[in-house]
């Protein structure tokens, strides 16, 4: 067990970053598709 549950804090940070990253990847793809439609 890592002191003070710091491992959990790191895990939450990683989950938030991964979620944000995947959202932005999807947004990137949508913007690209919209640009192609124009």
Partner 1 sequence: MSQDSPSAHGRAGAPPAPGGAGGWGDRGEIKPRGGGWAAGGSGLGPRGWAWRWALWLWIALAILGAFFYAPLAQDFIGQSSRILFFHVPMAWTSLVAFVAAGAWSVLYLWKRRPDDDRAAAAAVELGLVLALLATTTGAMWAKVMWHAWWNWDPRQTSIVIALVFYGAYLVLRGGIEDPEARARLCAVYAVIGLVVAPYLYFVMPWMAKFTLHPKPVVNPAGKVEMNARMLQVLLMSSLGFTVFFFWVHGLRRRLLRLADRRAVTAAGSAAS
Chain residues that interact with partner 1, rule: CB under 8 A: 3-4, 6-7, 9-10, 13-14, 17-18, 21, 24-25, 27-29, 31-36, 38
- CA 31 from chain centre, in angstroms, equals 17
Closest approach, Cβ 23 to partner 1, in A, equals 11
Place of tokens 């002191």: 3
Closest approach, Cβ 13 to partner 1, in A, equals 5
- Which residue number, 1 or 24, has a Cβ lying nearer to partner 1? 24
CA distance 21 to 15: 10
CA distance 35 to 23: 18
């Amino acid at each position: 067990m890592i002191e003070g549950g710091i491992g959990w804090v790191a895990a939450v940070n990683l989950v938030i970053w991964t979620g944000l990253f995947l959202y932005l990847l999807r947004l990137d793809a949508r913007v690209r598709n919209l640009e192609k439609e124009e």
